[in-house]
């Protein structure tokens, strides 16, 4: 499955900086990853690690003071970064579409659901109104919204959170995109609704044979839906591997920390582990490995030299000097429970 031919998106050394009054914030600093046909890539990390900025960079939706200053974003072997605004507009919504975090705020309150779904169809396919409306009804039906012929005339406030997110998904899928970027699509929903939405997305991705980049901080969500995972920390990818490897044998202390801080049903743990410290100030990243102030394995070397993202095993890259220690530690705890109970 993973050969260059069906590589849909390749992000090469992406650098997105914010030029603020206090200095340059390197929100995304040299990120590399690929997305293949039909697969889901999980982009995981804490708030402020640059995962949403990566998504916005791919869509080229960043506003001043944010700017992509380097790298390449190859979509179907064409670099999105050299395209002009008009060319980008033709790609947005048609080839690459996006689902946002808050279904409450990602639908325009003064426009009907139907209008918002048909808009993309009219923009990209010059579809006429009646035809577009038909398609909108069909899409709403596919995302499991009851009585869609009536719903298209309703406004967002008349729908529940789950329904709104379904409508968002219908909007994003309306033009049959090759790649779907989902920015924490389930974060603000109830847990039961979350599961429904994830099921739905999984099903639809298969039906539409689209690829997806799923951005989340929720490892439970990612375990359920992603084929491969890139863990981001402070604007860089620290671990990049398939889902199984990340969950069974994490090699970066940050990934390890994230996994141990998930509540477990299968084990009797009194106190939940947490990663000490906070995400570093993006204006003053620590020298050396950016994770060292919070890392239990940190040594003198970590403080001085930043480790490269090295491919340790086949398709498993890690940015750490102390992989062996993490591996040993990870072996002591089985993460399988998490995968089987939740995933």
Partner 1 sequence: MNRIIRKLFSNTTSLIGLILLFIFVIIAIFAPYIAPPLFASDPYQIPRMSWDVQPQPPGFPISDDIRLIYDSLGQPIIRETAIFGTAQGGYDIFYGLIWGTRTAFRIGIITVTLSMFIGVVGGSIAAYFGGWIDELLMRITDIFLSIPFLVAAMVLTTILGRGLDKVMIALVAFGWMGYARVIRGSILCVKEEVYINAARALGVKDFNIIVRHLLPNTIFPVMVQASMNIGSMVITAAALSFLGVGAPLGYADWGQMVSFARNWIVGSPGNAGEYWYAVFFPAIFIVLFVLAWNLVGDTLRDILDPRLRGEL
Number of neighbours of residue 3 by Cβ within 10 angstroms = 8
Local structure of residue 272 (DSSP, 8 states): -
Instruction: Give residue for tokens 């808050």.
Output: 102
Contacts of 271 (CB under 8 A, 6+ apart): none
Contact (Cβ atoms closer than 8 angstroms) between residue 113 and residue 151: yes
Which CB atom, from 59 or from 136, has the smaller least distance to partner 1? 59
Stretch 106-145 residues interacting with partner 1 (CB under 8 A): 106-111, 116, 119-120, 123-124
In the complex, the smallest distance separating the C-beta of residue 263 from partner 1, rounded to whole angstroms, is 29
- In the beta sheet, which residues pair with residue 34? 10
The binder of partner 1 chosen from 91, 173, 182, 213 (CB under 8 A): 91
The binder of partner 1 chosen from 90, 150, 328, 336 (CB under 8 A): 90
Q: Is residue 97 close enough to count as binding partner 1 by CB under 8 A?
A: yes
Tell me whether the omega of the peptide bond preceding residue 65 falls within 30 degrees of 0, making it cis: yes
Contact (Cβ atoms closer than 8 angstroms) between residue 175 and residue 97: yes
The torsion angles phi and psi of 194, rounded to 5 degrees, stand at: -50, -50
Which CB atom, from 105 or from 341, has the smaller least distance to partner 1? 105
Which CB atom, from 6 or from 90, has the smaller least distance to partner 1? 90
The binder of partner 1 chosen from 28, 152, 168, 205 (CB under 8 A): 168
Stretch 53-72 residues interacting with partner 1 (CB under 8 A): 59, 61, 63-64
Which CB atom, from 106 or from 317, has the smaller least distance to partner 1? 106
- Report how far residue 9's alpha carbon sits from residue 79's, in angstroms, rounded to the nearest whole number: 10
Q: Which positions lie near partner 1, rule CB under 8 A?
A: 59, 61, 63-64, 89-94, 97-98, 100-102, 105-111, 116, 119-120, 123-124, 168, 171
């Amino acid at each position: 499955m993973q050969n260059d031919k069906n590589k849909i998106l390749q992000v090469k050394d992406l650098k997105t900086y914010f030029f603020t009054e206090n200095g340059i914030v390197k929100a995304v600093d040299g990120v590399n990853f690929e997305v293949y046909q039909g697969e889901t890539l999980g982009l995981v990390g804490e708030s402020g690690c640059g995962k949403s900025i990566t998504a916005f960079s791919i869509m080229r939706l960043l506003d001043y003071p944010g700017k992509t200053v380097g790298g390449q974003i190859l979509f179907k072997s064409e670099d999105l970064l050299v395209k002009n605004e008009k060319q980008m507009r033709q790609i947005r919504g048609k080839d690459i579409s996006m689902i946002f975090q808050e279904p409450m705020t990602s639908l325009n309150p003064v426009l009907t659901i139907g209008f918002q779904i048909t808009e993309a169809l009219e923009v990209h396919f010059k579809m006429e109104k009646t035809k577009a409306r038909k398609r909108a009804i069909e899409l709403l039906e596919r995302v499991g919204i009851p009585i869609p012929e009536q719903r298209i005339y309703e406004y967002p406030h008349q729908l529940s959170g789950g329904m709104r997110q379904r409508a968002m998904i219908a909007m994003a899928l309306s033009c049959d995109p090759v790649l779907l970027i989902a920015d924490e699509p389930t974060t603000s929903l109830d847990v039961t609704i979350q599961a429904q939405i994830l099921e739905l997305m999984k099903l639809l991705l298969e039906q539409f044979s689209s690829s997806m980049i799923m951005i989340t901080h929720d490892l439970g969500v990612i375990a359920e839906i992603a084929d491969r995972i890139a863990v981001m920390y402070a604007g860089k990818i620290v671990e990049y591997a398939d889902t199984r490897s990340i969950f069974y044998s994490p090699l970066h202390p940050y990934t390890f920390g994230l996994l141990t801080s998930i509540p477990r049903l299968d084990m009797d743990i009194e106190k939940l582990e947490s990663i000490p410290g906070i995400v570093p100030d993006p204006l003053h990243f620590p020298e050396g490995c950016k994770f060292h102030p919070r890392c239990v394995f940190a040594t003198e070397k970590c403080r001085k030299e930043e480790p490269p993202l090295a491919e340790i095993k086949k398709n498993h890259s890690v940015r750490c000097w102390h992989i062996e220690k993490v591996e040993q530690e990870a072996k002591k705890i089985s993460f399988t429970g998490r995968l089987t109970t939740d995933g």
